Chain A
Amino acid sequence: MFGYSMAEIGNIVVMQGFSGLSMFTVLLLMALGLAIIFGQMGVINMAHGEFMTIGAYTTVLISKVAATYGFTNYYFVFAIAIAFVLAFAVGYFIEFIMIRHLYKRPLDTLLATWGLSLVMQQIFRSSFGAKEVSAELPEWMLGSFQPTPDIDIPINGVFVMVLAALVTFGVYMFMFKSRWGLRVRATVQNRTMAGAVGINTAKVDRVTFALGCGIAGIAGAAFTTIASTGPTTGTLYIVDSFMVVVFGGAASIVGTIASAFGIAQAQSVLQFFMTSSMGKVSTLLVIVSILMMKPEGLFASKLRK
């Protein structure tokens, strides 16, 4: 078939399947934090990518510390935890000084958070330098896992996959099984009533926003294994993140998952059969046409307007 043996084609199908899944988990990790902030709170956070960059730089710094003190093999656990805490803290602070004053003006948050993203980029540039840096990866995370000699499964891909699964599970538990999640959902559905029954909606907002930022921090830490870390790294992810969330239906976390899966698979398959840029263009065209017919996205929220 096309001059390739069946075995070769089989191997490619396996690896291609994996690369589709891998792209899915990357998109999912990118979009989860935004799904919470944009989906649940309606805040268009243009600085989402910069919160990822916080996570990425945290990882780079911790990898340097790890190299000095010789715990390179398992520093990633700390890096992810600290990335989350830092991004959460910054998000908490930003909500307090900026976002909460703009809840009634959604378009202004767009402008304000875009400005914030520029400010953050310049802070990164001034403090870490303009050049890109890399986190030194532990030995076990380099290279690939080979079930057969001709199949390579990238270990960093598996790592991102596992992490995305854990974070998604965590978000699910938080939103649907915890007291806090209940309050968040109540606030989203009916702010006035939620307030009336004694929920501190301002606090809920702050924690929700910070949580979304924290998850972005985790994503940023994870992406140091597959891509670059520089002051403007965040801008590489912001468009894809919004695309996933909007396409999935803003208020639905299940929608975000489905949309990340759909986009990743379409793009990965199309890019294999067409050239890379044409694959991306075709995916975008499909998304645009579906959104024209279904402007609320794949999974519309069943909220009463």
Chain B
Amino acid sequence: MSTLNRRGFIKGAMLGAMMAAGLVTGHAFAADYPTAKVNTTGLAVTDTTVKVGILHSATGTMAISETGSIQAEKLAIEQINAMGGILGRKIEVVQEDGASDWPTFAEKAKKLLEKDKVASVMGCWTSASRKAALPVFEKDNGLLFYPTFYEGLEQSKNVFYTGQEATQQILAGLDWIAKEKKAKTFYLIGSDYIWPRTSMKIARKHIEQHLGGKVVGEEYIALGDTQFGSVINKIKLKKPDVIYAAVVGGSNVAWFKQLNAAGLNSSKQTMLTISVTEDEVLGIGGENLAGFYSAMKYFQSQDNDSNKKFVEAFKKRWGKDAVIGDVTQAAYLGPWLYKAAVERAGSFDVDKVQAALPGYEFKDAPEGPVTVEANHHLTTKLRIGQWGKDGQAKVVYTSGYIKPDPFPKGYQ
């Protein structure tokens, strides 16, 4: 850890410029940053602490998915505190439960921002919860770090999106499968809500216009539906080269179990999914998934050093059976990016923090280095993982860096 001692107090902008030049990564002492100077908007920042909110569903349907994010965020915060906190201030977590209910997310966001005066919030998971909370963050000028890969078509100065937007996840994956498997015909299947539908729209455009392929079927399953017999028979009749799937929740488990039971396992059928991470595998069972592909930016099995350290720390903190999926890793980035942003800004003021983060490269991200872009999304790589029976994926392809493009031209 390098330290920089030759400065006393330097104004935020100046400091930001220096940090951007890579001069500062080290400890900062609270005494160097008097509270009155770094907190001019009345946030819950004292001489020794800063309050940060965590807003996920700990109860209800979505708890299945959001628990991992909560764990990752808490781990990151504990690690940051162990290193001395942010600008010498320890992070104090205020956790609220969105309870899988979208209006509750808005209510709790309001409580966190207006009553607790948290300096930033790690939270939301589904697009519906983010859309519900977004007006609150914009009105109260809060700061949200959002971890899930999502459909794009959104950009707010109050939100940093640490997961991938749709084109980052979809295009490179389709390119790979078309090339690698000589795929010409695709069957699109997803759950019936905004993310799969937007994703499939992008996928269809890409398949038809750029890959010269054909979409032979497009199907949406009601959320929670567990009967796939008829859909599977349709697929058998159409014999697509690739099934492109974005089925979520309880349906996801039923989909894979029934697909296998109907004889469509990976030896007979190629499938690329954008909705299966290590978390989902627990429910689906490795034996039902073996051989199929997922397109994600992160897999737990990645063997770079930063990931090994992360996996070890995560298991140490949350038990050796804990698994880490794509979103869990993205949630882990949130607190670290916030720390970097505050240090670059030399201030906790939301306007300064959000202006300071774009351009920052987080070199130690478990997934590998990521860069925050001006549109508040991250430049990342895409990886294709092939699932094994043990519930872990082997990375078979890694793309180059893909810039985020939340409003893709020609795909809307």
Contact = CB atoms under 8 A, between A and B. Distances in A.
Interface of A: 4, 8, 11-12, 15-16, 18-20, 22-23, 26, 122, 125, 129-134, 136-137, 142-144, 146, 152, 154-157, 223, 225-233, 235-237, 267-269, 271-272, 275-277, 279-280
A12 B236 contact: yes
A154 B284 contact: no
B28 to A, nearest CB: 37
B262 A271 contact: no
B283 A132 contact: yes
A1 to B, nearest CB: 12
A279 B260 contact: no
B257 interface: yes
Interface residues of B, number: 47
Contacts of A12: 233, 236-237
A294 B232 CA distance: 34
Contacts, number: 144
Contacts of A268: 227, 229-230
B269 to A, nearest CB: 12
A272 B233 contact: yes
Given A19-B232, A142-B261, A226-B257, A8 B225 contact: no
Nearest to B68: A131
B230 A226 contact: no
B265 interface: yes
Contact of A156 (B219, B249, B261, B283): B261
**Which secondary structure characterizes the binding site on chain A?**
helix
Contact of B250 (A137, A156, A157, A227): A227
B224 interface: yes
A134 B253 contact: yes
B67 A129 contact: yes
Contact of B253 (A15, A155, A228): A228
Interface in B227-259: 227, 229-234, 236-237, 249-250, 252-254, 257-258
A269 B229 CA distance: 10
A11 B262 CA distance: 13
Contacts of A16: 229-230, 233
A155 B265 CA distance: 14
Contacts of B373: none
B112 to A, nearest CB: 22
Given A15-B236, A125-B59, A142-B261, A23 B229 contact: yes
Interface in B271-288: 279-280, 282-285, 287
B362 interface: no
A19 B250 contact: no
A152 to B, nearest CB: 3
Given A134-B284, A137-B287, A152-B262, A227 B257 contact: yes
Given A134-B283, A152-B262, A155-B261, A279 B225 contact: no
B329 to A, nearest CB: 16
Contact of A226 (B226, B249, B265, B282): B226
Given A136-B285, A154-B262, A275-B220, 7 more contacts: A122-B59, A130-B64, A131-B68, A132-B280, A134-B282, A152-B236, A228-B249
A144 B263 CA distance: 6
Given A26-B227, A131-B283, A268-B229, A146 B263 contact: yes
B258 A154 contact: yes
Q: Among A134, A157, A280, which residue has the most Cβ atoms of chain B within 10 A? A: A134
